[in-house]
Homo-oligomer: A and B are copies of this chain.
């Protein structure tokens, strides 16, 4: 099993809020798993625009690469603990153990599916993007209609390909329409999930 392999050869690290885990184009020596907190991957264009590739929550893996270098950089969104697994050790386990190799393939496949969802997101309107984002954040281990956003508005904007002002205004608008409630900026209650879902595919 993959998780057993990871645990046996991985090293636990903790990373401070905002600190870099690895940089774009650095040699891809490690594969990581989030143990607690949230990690974002990102890329900064020459003119300063930033694209966030994905957010990774507890239990998810990131930093799996095929080339020699990372194609995005990775930073801790908040305080994080992560498991760092040496790529070569893992490869050697995978070459002896088909199940582990298959699990690594599945991680890549999951990553691909994530990227496809992201592409579909980026051709939509601002309302649709924000709605889709909230719904995505609302699924997972947390219960039903409460969403705790670990990331800033700027992070959300850079993930959605919008500006911070547009994200803020759209959230305000959803709140005015009573689809959601925003007790604090990082904590959102979804009252009318159907209204948000109506804005999807």
Contact = CB atoms under 8 A, between A and B. Distances in A.
Determine how many copies of this chain the complex contains. Answer: 2
Given A106-B66, A115-B115, A49 B123 contact: yes
Interface string A37-61: 0000001011001010100000000
B116 A71 contact: yes
A149 interface: no
Interface residues of A, number: 30
Contact of A201 (B46, B102, B112, B119): B46
Interface of A: 43, 45-46, 49, 51, 53, 66, 71-72, 95, 98, 101-102, 104-106, 108-109, 111-113, 115-116, 118-120, 122-123, 161, 201
Ranked nearest first, the 7 interchain pairs of A and B with the lowest CB-CB distance are A115-B115, A122-B122, A66-B109, A123-B161, A112-B112, A105-B105, A108-B108
24 contacts: A43-B120, A46-B201, A49-B123, A53-B119, A66-B106, A66-B109, A66-B113, A71-B113, A71-B116, A98-B98, A98-B101, A105-B105, A105-B108, A108-B109, A111-B112, A112-B112, A112-B115, A115-B115, A115-B116, A115-B119, A118-B119, A122-B122, A122-B123, A122-B161
